[in-house]
Amino acid sequence: ADAVEHALRMARLHTGRPKVLSAYRSYHGGTQQAVNVTGDPRRWASDSGTAGVVHFWAPFLYRSRFYAETEEQECARALEHLETTVAFEGPGTIAAIVLETIPGTAGIMMPPAGYLAGVREICDKYGIVFVLDEVMAGFGRTGTWFAADLYDVVPDLMTFAKGVNSGYVPLGGVAISAEIAATFAERPYPGGLTYSGHPLACAAAVATINVMAGEGVVEHAARLGGEVVEPALRELAERHPSVGEVRGTGMFWALELVKDRETREPLVPYNATGQAAAPMSAFAASAKAHGLWPFVNMNRTHVVPPCNVSEAELKEGLAALDTALSVADEYTR
């Protein structure tokens, strides 16, 4: 959250503009500005109409908001929607467009080929700062050092945390382009923090990065993701009618659980609670009973094991997932 707060502050100071555009189906942190750019229900209780934040739809073909039938259509229509939003909000008022490179908690929706490059072009066209949030997707999670590497795109600002030092000590940061760095070479950045550059947190980051490089952790995540996780999840999807879609890369996967594959009706309604959330609760209880602590969010379960997980550990977890999906199957039509 601190990283996102500072990235947006830098963008506003650099451009002199007030607004930020961010996507629905996103999460950027729990502090005041970060939660306002978030695009899921955790924003609602703290939403502020004066926050200068405008939300838009990013591409997600499985639940397309653009009536698209192909990835190419989804990409083109999502980019048209974004540029239209920019036009109607006033390009000269928009400081930044912020996106999770691959949305994490919101569902691990892989952007279609060309989308992030298209956003980069829109930002360049209107002088908008392009911010990529890599707090979840960075540092090996996607089988590359950063998810942006998969799409050959360079943002103006990139936020990171978590994986940078394995979470041993809280640490977040912002990677800054030369152009934006030059802005603060001429004027002070009013953002000092008591714990900036904390030696303990930074030492943990250096050690983590050295170990990841020396032990080939990123390559390991890519190999097991492609050779073990993806084939296993796609095989589970063939056998379990509750699995509507499998998506992801590296050690970053999600299963979209549904009541009906044909209609794609979610296994539970959006933001369901209480009895309405019972099918996902039953699925999670089964997973826990078999030794797997699942991450569930609405109608999804995520498969996001440690980047240094062993093949044997993966197979043990996938077996427990298989059993739990049989419980989810009981709620399908």
226/167 same-domain check: no
21/165 same-domain check: yes
Q: Where residue 50 falls among pLDDT bands split at 50, 70, 90? A: low
133/253 same-domain check: no
Separation CA 310–CA 301 (nearest Å)? 21
97/181 same-domain check: yes
Q: How many domains does the chain have?
A: 2
- Picking from 213, 245, 270, the residue at the C-terminal end of a domain is 213
The CATH number for 247's domain is 3.90.1150.10
Give the pLDDT confidence score for residue 268 in this predicted structure: 96
Least confident of 48-52, 146-150, 166-170, 271-275: 48-52
Query: pLDDT (tens digit, 9 = 90+) per residue, 86-107?
Result: 999 999 999 999 999 999 999 9
241/112 same-domain check: no
193/98 same-domain check: yes
249/308 same-domain check: yes
- Picking from 192, 213, 234, the residue at the C-terminal end of a domain is 213
193/237 same-domain check: no
The CATH number for 171's domain is 3.40.640.10
The parent domain of residue 183 ranges over 2-213
114/205 same-domain check: yes
84/233 same-domain check: no
Query: pLDDT (tens digit, 9 = 90+) per residue, 279-313?
Result: 999 999 999 999 999 999 999 999 999 999 999 99
Give the pLDDT confidence score for residue 47 in this predicted structure: 76
